[in-house]
Copies of this chain bind each other. A is one copy, B any other.
Amino acid sequence: MSTQVAICLTSRGNYARTGTLLHALDDDPDTELDIIVAGASMIRKYGTLSELLREDGLEIERELYNVLEGGTPVASAKTTGLGMIEFTSVLNELDPDGVITIADRYETMSVTLAASYLNIPVIHTQGGEITGSIDEKVRHATTKMADYHFVSTEKSLDVVKGLGEEGDRVFLTGCPSIDLVEDIDQNGNDQYDPQEDYAGVGAQIDIDEDYLVVQYHPVATEYMSEYDRTWELINAVDDLNVQAFWFWPNMDAGTNQVSKAIREYRDQRSPDDVRFYINMHPDDYLTLVSNSACMVGNSSVGIRECSYLGKPTVNIGNRQQMRERGPNVLDVKCETEDIKDGINQQLSAGSFERSTLYGNGNAGEKMKQIIRQTDLTMKQPMKPEQLDL
């Protein structure tokens, strides 16, 4: 009898961080995979996901529209509530043996709670990491709701166990996004042409010369000042004489503030060395990053995937505050001069040693094996000794 697991993807990042697991589950005759696409993944301006999954040979069980407009905390909260209502219907109907819930975005709570309240075991990935923003609350709360934990780093393993989770339900697997990076590193991705294949807007970039990849997301807990912060970054990139691929922000509260600044920059200065993108297929995006001179912004890609690539990263502000990082990351404040200095410093650094902090390229397969070999159950009440009390 095969094990049926459901997963809900709400962003392209979700796919990058679980892709090799999804394909492993899909390929194995002893496991069955139900993919639900929802959230930002259903909205054109954040980059839709379904077509891309189908092209990659994955079937989609359900598509759900649940994003409230506004780019505010209210929109985030209602999006989660609405998602919870609809995921409940879907999970109740699909009735899987387990539900995979990914990382720490606020809307993942709707999947985690729907599954938990339906008495379906929850498998959580990327637990035990430590960062800023509302993600921090969501991540650890999810750990306490989840029944199984697939963590990326040794320290995360300690944190999840430290939070009282039973040792035999916590697995150090690494992050499937490192599998992708490893694959690109080994096998390349020759055919891709970021400017031919994707409808970016702005300047033509010479990809044989140095270029930055810039990705700056709003921080929900401080979202009202993101317009000003985005301009700090814009002025830094604009001052430097280096090309850039710039990606629009995710849908977190503050998204409109970030977007407004970018749009004004584009309209008012028409920069001749910056090209703007919504997003790309994870493979192509990681190839772009891999070939870049430096990653700039506050995306976790600069910390996770770039650690394995040894790619220099300028990490800005509080969003990734406290996240475990390799030697490739330089932290700077969100001020123009600091960012400029940081980029210059990282450009001269060139590249760094590979770090296997976030995995060594076989996370998806490991995760699949555990799912396949486990009779998924809900965890027992926490025993005080699990907290070393």
Contacts and interface: CB of A to CB of B under 8 A. Distances in A.
Interface of A: 42-45, 62-70, 72-78, 80-86, 88-89, 92-93, 106, 109-110, 113-114, 116-119, 130-132, 134, 136-138, 140-145, 155, 158-159, 162-164, 201, 220-221, 251, 256, 267, 321-322, 378, 381-384, 387-389
Nearest to A86: B89
A92 B119 CA distance: 28
A214 to B, nearest CB: 19
A117 B134 contact: yes
B89 A84 contact: no
Contacts of A144: 137, 140-141, 143-144, 163
B117 A77 contact: yes
Given A45-B256, A81-B85, A131-B381, 20 more contacts: A62-B89, A62-B93, A63-B93, A65-B70, A65-B78, A65-B89, A67-B68, A73-B117, A74-B88, A78-B88, A82-B82, A82-B85, A119-B134, A136-B381, A136-B382, A137-B144, A140-B164, A159-B384, A163-B387, A221-B378
A77 B113 contact: yes
A74 B92 contact: yes
A117 B164 contact: no
10 contacts: A43-B70, A64-B89, A65-B70, A74-B89, A81-B82, A130-B381, A130-B384, A159-B389, A322-B383, A388-B388
A387 B162 contact: yes
Nearest to A122: B137
A72 B81 contact: no
In the A-B complex, the 9 residue pairs with the smallest Cβ-Cβ separation, listed nearest first, are A81-B84, A162-B387, A81-B85, A140-B144, A77-B117, A77-B88, A141-B141, A69-B69, A141-B144
A62 B92 CA distance: 11
Contacts of A140: 144, 164, 382
A77 B89 CA distance: 9
B119 A109 contact: no
Contact of A110 (B81, B136, B158): B81
Nearest to A132: B381
Contacts of A117: 73, 76-77, 80, 106, 134, 220
Most buried by B among A67, A72, A78, A144: A78
Nearest to A162: B387
B81 A88 contact: yes
Nearest to A62: B93
Contacts of A75: 65
B72 A77 contact: no
Contacts of A67: 68-70
A138 B106 CA distance: 16
A42 to B, nearest CB: 7
A139 to B, nearest CB: 8
A315 to B, nearest CB: 15
Contacts of A74: 65, 88-89, 92, 118
A118 B92 CA distance: 25
A60 B296 CA distance: 43
